[in-house]
C-alpha cells in the first residue's frame, strides 16, 4: 500500500476503483494519460477534441459528477483536472467527453473530490483553497496560506501550505483545528502533496527534505498528539453531523439499504427531511441513539422517490445542522 501511495503523490495520479483505471497528470505534455492497474497504456485525454486543451495539468481526481434538472439528476463518472495554466478546473467524463469547468482561479495546483462529490481546489497563486458543491457553487474559501500545493479531504480538509512549511487541518466550516509542522527532529521544507490510505494514515510529500512523512491514525496518546500538532482537536457536536451513503443507490448493487445519520449527539435529536419544494416528508423526534438509521421512507411508510432532499437536525443544545442528501432509485 505504501508503494502505491508514494507513486500517487509523486506523479499526481488518481485511481478509479470502479473501472480499474489509473489517470496520470502528464504535466509537461499537457495531457492526462490513462492506464490499467497492470500499467498497460489505454488512451490519452487532452481536451483538444472539445476545444478545451489542457495547459500544464497539475492534479487530477476522479469521482461522480451530478447534472441536475427539474426531473432529477444524472450521475456521470468524471475526471476533475487542475488545468493550471488555463486558470481553471476542467471536468470530463472518464471516456473523455467535456462536461463542465470551474473558472476564476489562478494557477490551481491540485484538486480533490470526496465521496460525496464535493470539490476541493488548491488555488495556489491566490494563496487560498476553495470548496465547491456538486452544483459547482463555491461554498467555502480559506485564505491563510502561502502557495498551497496539495489538498485532501475526509470530511476534514488537509492543505499542504508549501511556503509556510506546514500542513493544516480544517473542519468543514473552515476553522483550523490542527497544523503539522514536521517531525520532532526535522521541520517541513516545502510540502507539496498529501493523501491518505484506508486506515486513515496521512502521507505528506516533504519536497526539499526529500522524504515522505507518514502521520499515523489514530494517534497513540495525547503526548504524541501534542508533539505532532500545535492545536488540540475540536470537540464534535451535532454541527458536524453527516449522512451516508450519499448518493443513496438501493438498486445499484452496492448494498445500500438505509441512510445513516452520524449525529455526534444523543440529546433528543430532531430530524426533519424536506423535498426541494420545501415540503416536509419525514420527521423523527427524541432521537437518543447515534448513528440514527433512516429506512428512506416518508411519514406514511412509502419509499422516498429519487431526488434531492434537505435534512435539518437539532438537539437540546439548539445547535443546528442542515445538509443535502440525494436518492437515486
Q: Which residue intervals of the chain are DSSP H helices?
A: 2-11, 222-228
Of all residues in the chain, the percent with pLDDT exceeding 70 is 89
Residue 28 has pLDDT above 70, yes or no: yes
Which DSSP category does 290 fall into?
S
Report helix, strand or coil for 8: helix
Residue 245 has pLDDT above 80, yes or no: yes
C-alpha cell at 121: 481546489
Least-confidence region, from 85-89, 149-153, 190-194, 270-274: 190-194
pLDDT of the residue at 224 = 42
Residue 318 has pLDDT above 60, yes or no: yes
* Domains of the chain with bracketed CATH: 2-228 (2.120.10.30), 238-327 (2.60.40.3080)
Residue 115 has pLDDT above 50, yes or no: yes
Mean pLDDT of 97-120: 93
* DSSP notation for 182-237: B-SS-B-SSEEEEEE-TT--EEEEEGGGTEEEEE-SS-S-HHHHHHHBSSPPPPP-
Least-confidence region, from 20-24, 42-46, 89-93, 300-304: 20-24
pLDDT of the residue at 217 = 60
Amino acid at each position: 500500500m505504501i508503494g502505491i501511495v508514494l507513486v500517487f503523490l509523486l506523479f499526481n495520479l488518481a485511481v478509479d476503483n470502479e473501472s480499474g483505471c489509473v489517470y496520470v497528470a502528464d504535466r509537461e505534455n499537457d495531457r492526462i494519460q490513462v492506464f490499467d492497474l497492470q500499467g498497460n497504456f489505454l488512451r490519452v485525454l487532452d481536451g483538444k477534441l472539445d476545444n478545451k486543451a489542457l495547459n500544464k495539468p497539475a492534479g487530477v481526481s476522479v469521482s461522480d459528477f451530478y447534472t441536475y434538472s427539474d426531473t432529477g439528476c444524472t450521475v456521470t463518472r468524471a475526471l476533475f483536472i487542475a488545468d493550471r495554466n488555463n486558470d481553471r478546473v476542467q471536468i470530463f467524463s472518464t471516456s473523455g467527453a467535456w462536461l463542465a469547468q470551474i473558472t476564476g482561479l489562478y494557477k490551481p495546483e491540485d484538486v480533490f473530490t470526496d465521496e460525496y462529490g464535493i470539490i476541493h481546489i488548491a488555488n495556489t497563486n491566490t494563496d487560498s483553497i476553495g470548496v465547491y458543491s456538486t452544483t459547482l457553487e463555491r461554498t467555502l474559501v480559506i485564505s491563510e496560506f502561502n502557495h498551497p500545493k496539495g489538498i485532501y479531504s475526509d470530511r476534514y480538509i488537509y492543505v499542504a501550505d508549501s511556503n509556510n512549511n506546514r500542513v493544516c487541518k480544517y473542519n468543514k466550516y473552515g476553522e483550523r483545528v490542527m497544523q503539522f509542522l514536521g517531525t520532532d527532529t526535522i521541520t517541513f521544507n516545502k510540502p507539496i502533496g498529501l493523501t491518505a490510505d484506508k486506515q486513515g494514515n496521512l502521507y505528506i510529500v516533504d519536497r526539499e527534505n526529500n522524504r515522505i512523512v507518514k502521520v499515523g491514525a489514530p494517534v497513540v496518546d495525547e503526548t504524541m498528539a501534542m508533539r505532532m500538532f500545535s492545536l488540540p482537536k475540536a470537540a464534535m457536536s451535532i454541527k458536524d453531523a453527516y449522512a451516508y451513503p450519499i448518493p443513496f443507490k438501493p438498486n445499484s448493487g452496492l448494498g445500500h439499504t438505509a441512510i445513516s445519520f452520524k449525529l455526534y449527539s444523543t440529546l433528543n435529536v430532531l430530524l426533519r427531511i424536506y423535498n426541494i419544494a420545501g415540503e416536509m416528508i419525514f420527521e423523527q423526534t427524541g432521537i437518543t441513539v447515534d448513528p440514527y438509521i433512516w429506512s428512506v421512507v416518508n411519514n406514511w411508510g412509502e419509499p422516498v422517490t429519487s431526488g434531492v432532499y434537505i435534512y435539518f437536525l437539532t438537539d437540546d443544545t439548539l445547535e443546528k445542522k442542515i445538509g443535502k442528501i440525494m436518492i437515486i432509485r
